[in-house]
Structure 1
Amino acid sequence: MAGPLTSLKVLDFSTLLPGPYATMLLADMGADVLRVEAPDRVDLIRVMPPHDAGVSTAHGFLNRGKKSLTLNLKEEGSADKVLELVKDFDIVIEQFRPGVMGRLGIGYEALKAVNPSLIYCSITGYGQTGPYKDRAGHDINYLSLAGVSSHCGRADSGPPPMGIQIADVAGGSHHAVMGILAAVIHRQQTGEGQFVDVSMTDAAFALNAMSGAACLAGGQEQKPESSLLNGGSFYDYYQTSDGRWLSVGSLEPQFSARLCDTLGIADLKSDALSQKPEHRQRLKAALKERVASKTLAEWQEIFAGQDACVEPVLTISEAAEHPQLKAREMVIGVDRGDGTQQRQIGFPIKFEKTPSETSRIGKMPGADNEQFL
């Protein structure tokens, strides 16, 4: 395996999306990941449609490059097997509710006793502390409690269900990888392992960034369509004559001037720079009318040579064929295990010295039992 993390070994007890996405990123960067699954309780990701050559596409992607071990953690003797296994691993990642791993005899304290330098990362909805620590939840709940949903969507229709799992992936997965790698650096300096507590709600709350800063320090609560970047200005989506959408992000003066010139509404250039709601709405109305006069393909041709921060809203299949994403190798072929390849999303970070690569799609449960048991 290539990648900058080839020296790290990860024992993965996670399921569904957040943990497996995090360990996929680690595997893509070269870490040796062993995934531990229950033999009699199938991870829903494994059966989620659609399927490719009999394998769930979600499983093939999320568990690529990993080894698979099946072990009933509730069975007598399983804890002893894990305690023996973990001696050879650097990192443990799990996604159970607080206290579950401890009750199984393989919590952080038990594992640390046999491997003092172990980095143990727990991903949960609400973290290891607080009144909600044992409460069930999903992505939509974490975004709601974190305040993210309150300022997304339209003023007259409320927050939309997001097309991607923001709290799960941008919150849980990415913050878990960040925390783990920070702990690795600390261990290199001190020899100490540690517990890393990742709450998807905490991480989602942190994603509020500028709107959060405006609220907490400035006393300005952001609402849908109230600010520069959430629909309160001409920075928005506009429907074309063929029912597609065009994104307009021409905020800076040079871009907004180019936008107005290209659309033939040069007399509204000053509206793009105005803070007055009536000016903003006048420009939005003009943009809506002009964009609706042509097809998406026509607008793509018109703006192809214009550096104006205007781009088409593409489907995933269209994005996969876009020359920019193709040039960045963001669609790759991954071995199915039989010599054929499955198309998958590529790794988004490009390393000069240690480029990432992946060996194969997610394996069948217990494919590596013989090696580890």
Structure 2
Amino acid sequence: MKGPLSSLKILDFSTLLPGPFASLLLADMGADVLRVESPGRMDLVRLLPPHDGDTSASHAYLNRNKRCIALDLKKPEAVEVVKQLVGEYDIVLEQFRPGVMDKLGVGYEALKAINPRLIYVSITGYGQTGPYKDRAGHDINYLALAGVASYTGRRDTGPLPLGVQLADIAGGSLHGVMGLLAAVIHRQQTGEGQQVDVSMTDCAFSLNGMAGAGYLACGVEPDMESQALNGGSFYDYYRTRDGRWFSVGSLEPQFMLQFCQAIGRPELAARGLSPSAEEQRLLKREIAIELEKRDFADWCERFAAVDACVEPMLSLSEAVEHPQLRARGLVVGVPRDGAAPQRQMACPIKFSAGLPEPRHIGMPVGAHTEEVLAGLGYAETRIAELKAAGVIA
């Protein structure tokens, strides 16, 4: 089984999270992904704890199913290898600040001259243009500038540092994959390649789906705990007697009625639709009082048979064992050298034709350098010379 993207060959220059998560999805769906790393400047994710043996668990996951070569792009011999590779690997994914790849001699224009069908996907914090294009940033900065953080949090304590890197993944990774695949379809129709400019800040701004639409069309500025879905209504998390939490999303009247009946307060159901902020505050207080009367396990048992958009907040260890996630096969064993398969999160996209089995975890720096160069026609003696000169590893 090859997977739906088995015809794609991708040269991946990215590090850290956004680009590698994007190429992980592509590799899981069958694409041939070849990572290009520096032999002297390690991807910091390789050092990120916790470690499974000598391997960072994050690196092993983000880079599974990918081959990797180590090239010092500051050396002309390494640039020549890249230019040879783009004759076959006609999709490039990179995550450097604008202009860096150009300075190295492997920017879009330089590689397009070799292969006009080249698709060149650039994921950056602020995009290829604009006054911030050369500015450093991280996920928290992109969410702050895009307005997302301004209404995500509590009035008393302020914005929340999210546990999931929203701008990196939903912004850079997922939009990067969408842009790449759209460019592939365009190339199939026209024969033309192109550069795809993905800004994590731009994408985070577009995630202001409802709040942003309301502000731009109606001038309604969102604030923390001011809207139905950000803590301004009973749609929220509630603590149980033993300090655990439940999520209550019973927005529709039929769900709200079932929820209120389950907590023994059916008279509260009619108040769920009240637009009054004060009424919602009082309703939340009543719900909080009821939820704190029982332990987490008691509520789990009670709500198991109630279809009311109410679910327990699980830890990761509990989520892994939840029957729904187990039924969906969201944990998979990935082969690795000399040890039992490593448990990892599976590709979340299901295809009726299936996907190929995971091939291997993320590999050591330059694990496939000699194999790739041999495939390009390099003799063993030349490969040894390049290794001795520090061009490859």
TM-score range, shorter chain: over 0.9
- Give the structure 2 partner of residue 137 of structure 1: 137
- Give the letter for the 2:237 counterpart: Y
Using the TM superposition, give the Cα deviation of residue 10 of structure 1 relative to its aligned residue in structure 2, in angstroms.
0.4
2:124 paired with 1:124:
yes
Distance 1:187 1:162 in 2: 37
Distance 1:312 1:337 in 2: 38
Count of matched residue positions in the alignment of Structure 1 and Structure 2: 373
TM-score (normalised: structure 1): 0.98
Instruction: Give the alignment of 1:35-54 within 5 angstroms.
Output: 35-54=35-54
CA contact (8 A) 1:29 1:357 kept: no
Distance 1:274 1:231 in 2: 14
Distance 2:340 2:72 in 1: 32
The C-alpha deviation readout for 1:151-181, integer Å capped at 9, x for no partner, is 0010111101100100000100000000000
- Give the structure 1 partner of residue 232 of structure 2: 232
- Give the letter for the 2:216 counterpart: L
- Give the structure 2 partner of residue 90 of structure 1: 90
Using the TM superposition, give the Cα deviation of residue 79 of structure 1 relative to its aligned residue in structure 2, in angstroms.
1.2
- Give the letter for the 1:32 counterpart: D
Using the TM superposition, give the Cα deviation of residue 294 of structure 1 relative to its aligned residue in structure 2, in angstroms.
1.0
Using the TM superposition, give the Cα deviation of residue 353 of structure 1 relative to its aligned residue in structure 2, in angstroms.
1.5
- Give the letter for the 1:165 counterpart: Q
Using the TM superposition, give the Cα deviation of residue 187 of structure 1 relative to its aligned residue in structure 2, in angstroms.
0.5
- Give the letter for the 2:64 counterpart: R
2:335 paired with 1:335:
yes
CA contact (8 A) 1:30 1:357 kept: no
The C-alpha deviation readout for 1:85-127, integer Å capped at 9, x for no partner, is 1111121000000000001111001111111101000000000
2:250 paired with 1:250:
yes
2:225 paired with 1:204:
no
Distance 1:327 1:100 in 2: 45
Distance 2:183 2:144 in 1: 30
- Range with bigger deviation, 196-205 or 336-345: 336-345
2:66 paired with 1:74:
no
Distance 1:86 1:372 in 2: 13
Distance 1:190 1:199 in 2: 25
2:148 paired with 1:148:
yes
CA contact (8 A) 2:334 2:341 kept: yes
What is the DSSP-based 3-state SS (H/G/I as helix, E as strand, rest coil) of the residue aligned with 1:77? Answer: helix
What is the DSSP-based 3-state SS (H/G/I as helix, E as strand, rest coil) of the residue aligned with 2:75? Answer: coil
Instruction: Give the alignment of 1:1-373 within 5 angstroms.
Output: 2-338=2-338, 340-373=340-373
Moved segments of 4+, more than 6 Å: none
CA contact (8 A) 2:28 2:355 kept: no
- Range with bigger deviation, 70-79 or 8-17: 70-79
Using the TM superposition, give the Cα deviation of residue 268 of structure 1 relative to its aligned residue in structure 2, in angstroms.
1.6
Distance 1:339 1:48 in 2: 21
Q: Would the alpha carbon gap of residues 348 and 72 (structure 1) be closer, same or farther in structure 2, given more than 3 Å must change?
A: same
Percent of pairs with identical residues = 61
Distance 2:252 2:343 in 1: 38
CA contact (8 A) 1:145 1:201 kept: yes
What is the DSSP-based 3-state SS (H/G/I as helix, E as strand, rest coil) of the residue aligned with 1:260? Answer: helix
Distance 2:179 2:328 in 1: 27
What is the DSSP-based 3-state SS (H/G/I as helix, E as strand, rest coil) of the residue aligned with 2:86? Answer: helix
CA contact (8 A) 2:120 2:196 kept: yes
Using the TM superposition, give the Cα deviation of residue 275 of structure 1 relative to its aligned residue in structure 2, in angstroms.
1.1
Distance 1:154 1:217 in 2: 25
- Give the structure 1 partner of residue 377 of structure 2: none
Using the TM superposition, give the Cα deviation of residue 278 of structure 1 relative to its aligned residue in structure 2, in angstroms.
2.4
Distance 1:222 1:180 in 2: 33
Distance 1:328 1:218 in 2: 41
Distance 1:278 1:224 in 2: 15
- Give the structure 1 partner of residue 384 of structure 2: none
CA contact (8 A) 1:2 1:354 kept: no
Using the TM superposition, give the Cα deviation of residue 356 of structure 1 relative to its aligned residue in structure 2, in angstroms.
4.5
Distance 2:309 2:56 in 1: 37
Distance 1:308 1:205 in 2: 32
Using the TM superposition, give the Cα deviation of residue 370 of structure 1 relative to its aligned residue in structure 2, in angstroms.
1.0
Distance 1:133 1:241 in 2: 49
Using the TM superposition, give the Cα deviation of residue 261 of structure 1 relative to its aligned residue in structure 2, in angstroms.
0.9
TM-score (normalised: structure 2): 0.94
